[in-house]
Structure 1
Amino acid sequence: MNFALILFVLLVATGLLWLVDHFISRKRRQPGTPNPWWVEYGASFFPVILVVFFLRSFLVEPYKIPSGSMVPTLHVGDFILVNKYTYGIRLPVINKKVIELNAPQRGDVMVFRYPVNPSLDYIKRVVGLPGDKIAYFNKQLMINGKPVPLDKDQPYLGAGLFYTPRYQEQLGAVKHSILLDRETEAPILPITRFPHIENCHYNANGVECVVPPGHYFMMGDNRDNSQDSRYWGFVPDENIVGRAFFIWFNFSDLKRIGSFK
């Protein structure tokens, strides 16, 4: 049972208690009589849960970065905010879109339900849009036949006190940093037979995919240490949670608080 469902159940339960108290029980109580326990510990929480449910479902949702797949943009332990309405208004719990707004753009950092296990939330960067041909051969990203240029940047000093080559990459209107070690070799192989796998072709040098309609191709900024669409396929629109846009806390480094690209 996920948190959204738990919150919804609490909202319904406390809402029913609030209605009973407001329209029935309160009228029968004598003036000065203490509130019964179910009012103190149930109905009184309804307004708070209602506000939290509304904010989390339709405006912003907090999320904690669990892995290093988005380094150097996002670090393990970053607490971020996710905009829930950028890509359309969705019904809570079932995540069904009811109002169309903006579509994801290349370069967006997006939170989504992991297609292999939808109970898990993942965060990656949007690389491929519906209809795009994405190729990743010999660690060179190509979109619709055009190589994505990389500008050499200062090496990145990781938590283990070792340096990793860093580059500046331009995806759409977004310029951001990625980590990429061209000296290492690692095969790219699918970890599961994902939907639309027939749109992808794997060989010893990498993978090439055509993004199907209503789907997106996602990659981590830590290119050599990210399990992403290269391995488990495309993210369908119905799995989208929202666009990540702000770091609101990090216990290890308060300087990280702020917006990011």
Structure 2
Amino acid sequence: MNSQQGKSPKKNSREWFDALIIAAIFATFLRVFVVESYRIPTGSMENTLMAGDFLFVNKYVYGAKIPFTDSRLPVIQPIQRGDIIVFKFPKDRSLNYIKRCVALPGDLLEIRDRKLYVNGKESALPEYAQFLGEPMTKGVGDFQIFPRFSPFNKDYYGPLQIPKKGDVVELTPQTYSLYSSLIADEGHDVSLTGSLVFVDGSPASSYTVEKNYYFAMGDNRDNSLDSRFWGFLPETDIVGEAMMVYWSWDPDLPLLFDPVNKLGSIAWHRIGLMVH
């Protein structure tokens, strides 16, 4: 006798409901701890990644963040220089950004004539990276560049030490713009009055860094809002590592009003592309 015979519609509906709940829990677990989809919204990583690419992001490799806490799962592989990472934008954590990690906690970073140096050694330009704008002159500061009031610009930057947990940094009026946002982000009140820096209401000549930080840059070096503009990337904001392009089409064509051209814009040659 068929085991399904004799079951009431109510019991069948309950079984389907239970199966859907289990599937939803499993899908949520995968999304939170294992892999998540991400869409490339801008051209800051061209020509490595293109606007309109859809990616899978590996969240467990760096230790996925446990929701509603500051804790993480164990790290499978630490972040490496050159990894393409997805992270919460430190200035607006409702936004996800994607860039290439170019320097690790404790590294000394410098850009000279568009060439990147880490710990005194030149870092090779990524295979598909590009420059689109005119080169800038050394010593000509850019008011948009981090830290404010420095002589840095996008093509001549640093040298700059990337903070790591346990570093003791000097606090002066000259270093205030370099470390003030870091200190505030670590949960402290920080201010500058005259020649004194105050942390949590007390004068402070130094500060012990509580987190590890990274430096991230886009492969499209002249069209990327990256660490050169907003500063150090906290380890706690890193979501995961980009893995693979699973879909790609023109993001500017509306599917609803122009479905033929939208479907015709599918970049079949990019589907399945491993990200590096």
Same fold (TM over 0.5): yes
* Cα distance in 2, alignment partners of residues 73 and 110 from structure 1: 13
Q: Distance in 2 between matches of 1:98 and 1:92?
A: 11
Query: Hey, what does 1:158 align to over in structure 2?
Result: none
Q: Deviations over 1:124-151 (max 9, x none)?
A: 00101011111123322121223335xx
Conservation of the 8 A alpha-carbon contact between 1:72 and 1:178: yes
Unmatched 5+ residue regions in structure 2?
1-5, 165-211, 250-265
CA shift in 2, pair 1:191/1:201, >3 Å? closer
Residue 31 of structure 2 corresponds to residue 56 of structure 1: yes
1:80–1:93: structure 2 CA closer, same or farther, 3 Å change rule?
farther
1:188–1:74 distance in 2 versus 1, CA, 3 Å:
farther
Q: Aligned with 2:214: secondary structure?
A: strand
Cα deviations by residue, 1:168-221 (Å, 9 ceiling, x for unpaired): x2xxxxx532102474449644467xxxx59x9543663212111111100000
Identity score, percent: 36
SS in 2 for 1:176: coil
Distance 1:76 1:132, change over 3 A: same
Which residue pairs with 1:155 in the alignment? none
Partner of 1:259: 274
- Residue 10 (structure 2) aligns with: 34
Q: What are the residue-to-residue correspondences of 1:6-17 with 2, within 5 Å?
A: none
**Alpha carbons of 1:188 and 1:148: their partners in 2 closer, same or farther (altered >3 Å)?**
farther
Q: Distance in 1 between the 2:68 and 2:38 partners?
A: 16
In structure 2, the residue matched to 1:132 is: 107
Partner secondary structure for residue 85 of structure 1: coil
Hey, what does 2:88 align to over in structure 1? Answer: 113
- Which of 47-56 and 204-213 deviates more? 204-213
Report the AA paired with residue 32 of structure 1.
Answer: S
Contact 2:145 2:228 in 1 (8 A): no
Distance in 2 between residues matched to 1:129 and 1:50, nearest whole Å: 35
Question: Secondary structure of the residue that 1:177 maps to in structure 2?
Answer: coil
Cα offset, 1:44, TM superposition = 5.4
| Counterparts of 1:233 and 1:239, CA distance in 2 | 13
Alignment of 1:1-261 (within 5 A): 32=8, 34=10, 45-94=20-69, 96-149=71-124, 169=125, 176-181=127-132, 183-185=134-136, 188-190=142-144, 201-203=150-152, 206-208=156-158, 209-213=160-164, 214-251=212-249, 252-257=266-271, 258-261=273-276
| Contact 1:201/1:207 (<8 A) preserved | no
Q: Contact (CA 8 Å) 2:60, 2:73: kept in 1 or not?
A: no
Q: TM-score, normalised by structure 2?
A: 0.64
Q: For residue 203 of structure 1, what is the amino acid of its counterpart?
A: F
Go from structure 1 to structure 2 and tell me whether the alpha carbon gap of 1:85 and 1:43 turns closer, same or farther (over 3 Å shift). Answer: same
Distance 1:148 1:72, change over 3 A: same
Q: More helix by proportion, 1 or 2? A: 1
Any conservation in 2 of the 1:215–1:236 contact (CA below 8 Å)? yes
Q: 1:44 to 1:135 in 2, by over 3 A?
A: same
Letter in 2 for 1:248: Y
Higher alpha-carbon deviation: 245-254 or 120-129: 245-254
Partners in 1 of 2:24 and 2:70 — Cα distance? 19
Taking only aligned residues, the RMSD between alpha carbons, in angstroms, comes to 2.9
- Name the one with the larger strand percent: 1
The number of residues matched between the two structures is 202
SS at match of 1:112: strand
Q: CA deviation at 1:59?
A: 1.4
Give the C-alpha shift of residue 31 in structure 1. 6.1
Which SS does the other structure have where 1:224 is aligned? coil
